[in-house]
Amino acid sequence: MDTPASPRTRPVSAFGHRRLLVAALAAAVSLAAACGPPRDRQEAALSIAGALSGDTTGYARADAPRPFHFPADHGPHPRFRTEWWYFTGNLDGADGRRFGYQLTFFRNALAPPDDEAAAFPTDDRASPWATRQAWFAHFAVTDAAGRRFFAAQRLARGGRLGLAGATFTGPGLRLWVDDWSARSVLPVGTAPPAIRGGGLLPLRLAAAQEGAAIALTLEPGKPVVLQGDSGLSVKSRDPATGMVDASYYYSFTRLPTAGTVTLGEGSFAVSGSSWMDREWSTSALAQDQVGWDWFALQLDDGRDLMVYALRLSDAVGGGIDPASSATLVARDGTARHLARDAFAIDVLDRWRSPATGALYPFTWHLAVPGEGIDLVIRPVLADQELDVGLRYWEGAVDVRRADASREGSAGAPVIGRGYVELTGYGPGMPR
């Protein structure tokens, strides 16, 4: 059935979704049109047109497992076309008020690098506006009690102007787009870097726009998890050539978090748990893939579960691509990669957006039989949809035991929380 819409507040502009390359390019097009002198805009637009045509000449590719080097890999990888640093979390106020948040930083190359030094973070061309890098950031807050969803986007150029960028030096990571930022705050003379998130953590997040703001500190929790095959996350494989479309992908799946969430009426001291995803690649989805359903779940028994379900188009029969996968992280931080045949997802309910008409899955039955996992997942707020020409849904969810509630009723006890992202839905798209 179609679930009624939830009230929403949109004090600021909605933003594009987390990982779809087309969204990154669309944002870069907007950026090129908005910034810099006319000649610079024209050159940037031509580079983006080339990227949209699928030309990846001159970029590095994620096509085989590689050693990860921390802390260096927390920093930028300019030889790849696109990358992101992605944070989500579920937080509680002192009075039990529930919040979700999202803060993401994207880098998208406008042209392939001549060499590593010229690509990032500075550019020695004459104009200070000249750059090979477009940056944008996404920020959202879900207020469950107030049944409100706030979202915003910022765009900026890289290069010598210093409007946006990423650096990793002795003091740790610094990410910024305008005054939104993620910054390492490493204590001096404390635990070794390997114990404290590979030199990344603690990490301080800050973002504010009319109507909502966050100021959060993410502490070390479980160790880093390499997703897929030792960090190579394969999205598709050409059966004729064996060539893969893939990303390098790692996560911190459970980061103790504290700070403040500010809404129009005041600030709330909060605490909870965050999830960080980190990917870089040059590939896009295959032509027969229309989107994905992505689940990042933190269970009360101490386990964490990531499921990445790539959806196939009706032209090839629909369903979930065999390249889809999952990762189960134990309480002690050890991780197991799970192939497509290890899990099952069924949609129990759907929600139709009153704003776009898109019909999204709204409640899921997710099972990993070999691991004793049998769950029902339901959003804390129906309307966590974003529409910027490309429509998608992303938001905070509750997790319940399937044997307690196949329908995800409010009476079943919550045994976990998480975030879900849905892309490729909308009028004319597969349901």
Distance CA 152, CA 333 (A): 33
* pLDDT tens readout for residues 81-139: 999 999 999 999 999 999 999 999 999 988 887 754 444 444 455 677 777 888 989 89
CATH code for the domain of 139: 2.40.370.10
Q: Is residue 45 part of a domain?
A: yes
Q: Are strands 2-3 and 344-352 parallel, antiparallel or unpaired?
A: parallel
CA angle 226, 232, 238 (to 5 degrees): 155
Residue 182: exposure state from Cβ atoms within 10 A (0-12, 13-18, ≥19): buried
Distance CA 370, CA 372 (A): 6
* pLDDT tens readout for residues 203-246: 999 999 988 999 999 999 999 999 999 999 988 776 666 667 88
Least confident of 167-176, 280-289, 316-325, 332-341: 280-289
Q: Is residue 106 part of a domain?
A: yes
Q: Is residue 431 part of a domain?
A: no
Q: Is residue 213 part of a domain?
A: yes
User: What is residue 220's DSSP assignment?
Assistant: P
Q: Which residues contact 144 (CB under 8 A, 6 or more apart)?
A: 97, 98, 99, 100, 380, 381, 396
pTM for this predicted structure: 0.85
Highest-scoring range by mean pLDDT, 41-45, 122-126, 180-184, 408-412:
180-184
Per-residue pLDDT, 117: 47
User: What is residue 314's DSSP assignment?
Assistant: G
Using alpha carbons, select from 304, 293, 308 the residue that is nearest to residue 417.
304
Using alpha carbons, select from 211, 200, 252, 249 the residue that is nearest to residue 89.
252
3-state SS, residue 15: coil
Q: Which residues contact 401 (CB under 8 A, 6 or more apart)?
A: 374, 375, 376, 412, 413, 415
Tokens 């921390």 correspond to 70
Q: Which residues contact 411 (CB under 8 A, 6 or more apart)?
A: 405
> Does the pLDDT of residue 43 top 50, yes or no?
no
Average of per-residue pLDDT across 197-206? 88
Convert 369-403 into a string of H (helix), E (strand) and C (coil). HHHCEEEEEEECCCCCEEEECEEEEEEEEEEEECC
Using alpha carbons, select from 62, 21, 82 the residue that is nearest to residue 243.
62
Structure tokens at 361: 């899955």
Per-residue pLDDT, 427: 58
Number of domains into which the chain is organized: 1
> Does the pLDDT of residue 54 top 50, yes or no?
yes
CA torsion 228-184-16-276 (nearest 10°) is 30
Q: Is residue 159 part of a domain?
A: yes
Using alpha carbons, select from 168, 187, 202 the residue that is nearest to residue 72.
168
Per-residue pLDDT, 318: 79
Name the residue with higher pLDDT: 21 or 401.
Answer: 401
> Does the pLDDT of residue 189 top 60, yes or no?
no
Q: Is residue 88 part of a domain?
A: yes
Q: Is residue 204 part of a domain?
A: yes
CA torsion 388-295-106-19 (nearest 10°) is -60
Query: Is there a contact between 294 and 420 (Cβ–Cβ < 8 Å)?
Result: yes
* pLDDT tens readout for residues 412-429: 788 999 999 998 886 544
Average of per-residue pLDDT across 381-406? 81
Q: Is residue 102 part of a domain?
A: yes
Residue 72, domain extent: 2-423
